[in-house]
Amino acid sequence: MIGERVTEGWQVRLKSCGPMRYVSAAFLLFWLCGWAIGEGVALTFLAKGILALMNGAPFEEGRSPLQLGPALAAGGFLLLWLSLWTLGGIMAIGEVLRLLWGEDRLIVNAGGLTIVRCRGPFRSRREIPRDLLRRIVIDSPSGPVVAETPQGRIEITRLGTNEEREESAAALRSELGIREDAPRTDPVALPKGWAEVITPEGERAVTVDAATKRLRVRVVALAALAAGALAYGLVMESLHRVEVLPVAIIAVAGTVGVSWLTVWLARGRMEWRIGRGSLTLRRRFGSTIKDVFEGRRLELVVSRDSDSDEWIALEALGEGAAESRPEQWTRVSSKNRRRITSVLRDPSVPRLLGAWLSKAAGVPLEDRTRREARQAEITLTLDQLEKSGPVGRVAARLLGKAFDKTRKSA
């Protein structure tokens, strides 16, 4: 961490560090080579198809001219795939720039906090007024520095080592005059993407908001159109080539499935009915409703998937539900536990939603994502291993060293 006085105010600079970033960058660069080849092939294929349709010429020499229906179906599918492929490549390029040439400049002045992100030749700037800053915290030993505001949490930086992020957070609090243990004084509000509704039965419930629902419907509807166009093209082709028939049947079945999902998203929803001391998960489709689960308490947990990505989840627990284990693998909902929402790395949405539901329904909320809670759970796990026997003691020592190394490195 580099702290200095500049003309704009007091500045902290944090850069990407750690040897493992070169391994990740090398893998992404290798993947980007294949991405560039795929991008070029797809664009060439698409351009040739458009020219063949415009000129009425065959796609390749020695073949008959393209038929409009199958050509449009294949072109629509290819265009959708190319859009997703291009987006994935842009994200990978951004990650390579962050790993190799990433730098965050945090500038504090009388107006508040300015975040300047440098990713190679690209720069972005964001300003947070001082009167909106409530707290500056780090939730986990290897987590990012985040700012809490009335509108939600804003990631300040995740660059630098763990110690550098701790130092920068303390320095920012000192310069801005924010106490580390400053409580939240703003009223609890639902996070973006969620809304309170009154059901036809006159009850309060929480579900995804209308804008999020419309976006989901549009995305799945576009996928249904692309699948339908592909299925149509394959069906038409199967009339002339019987060997295409099995693939056409699979495409038609997939189109029916995606179309049904579109109808479900448009007319149905899952909602959490707010009771007195309980939250009831209800499935609603048109005028049909069904209660599928009742939760008596809430829990914020950290879980990891098969790629070791960290997810912050808000879960509702029923009667007799067991407590979660620290850093457990992501699991599906069980008989006594239902996942309300989960977000990759950022705990702001699950935490705000959990606080709102806890207050509205009068159910307890246990936050297991705070650094203190996670450290206590890790310590308990190590103690249990120490008492389990010789093998457990060896495992406890190895895990203890791994946890210590994680806290000291980026």
The last residue of one of the domains, among 101, 125, 143, is 101
Q: Picking from 65-69, 87-91, 211-215, which range would have the lowest pLDDT averaged per residue?
A: 65-69
Q: Which two tokens stand for residue 299?
A: 């829990």
How far is the CA of 60 from the CAs of 53, 66, 218, in angstroms? 12, 10, 35
* pLDDT for res 404: 60
Q: Picking from 225-234, 314-323, 382-391, which range would have the lowest pLDDT averaged per residue?
A: 382-391
In terms of domains, do 357 and 305 share one? yes
Please compute the mean of the pLDDT values over residues 121-144 and round it to a whole number: 84
Asked if 291 and 280 touch (Cβ cutoff 8 Å), the reply is: yes
In terms of domains, do 265 and 319 share one? no
In a domain, 254, yes or no: yes
Backbone angles phi, psi at 258, to 5 degrees: -65, -35
In terms of domains, do 24 and 87 share one? yes
* pLDDT for res 187: 58
The last residue of one of the domains, among 226, 243, 269, is 269
Domain count, the chain: 4
Q: Position of tokens 């997939």?
A: 254
Q: Tell me 225's DSSP state.
A: H
Four-residue CA torsion sign, 403, 404, 407, 410: negative
* pLDDT for res 49: 80
pLDDT, tens digit, 9 for 90 and up, residues 351-376: 888 989 999 999 999 888 766 555 55
In a domain, 80, yes or no: yes
Backbone angles phi, psi at 121, to 5 degrees: -80, -5
Q: 120, 108, 148: which is closest to 132 by C-alpha?
A: 148
In a domain, 137, yes or no: no
pLDDT at 147 over 90: no
Q: Say how many residues make up the chain.
A: 410
Which residues constitute the domain of residue 236? 209-269
pLDDT at 330 over 50: no
pLDDT, tens digit, 9 for 90 and up, residues 188-216: 678 888 999 999 989 999 999 999 999 99
In a domain, 238, yes or no: yes
In a domain, 300, yes or no: yes
Higher pLDDT, 24 or 380: 24
In terms of domains, do 329 and 283 share one? yes
The last residue of one of the domains, among 85, 101, 117, is 101
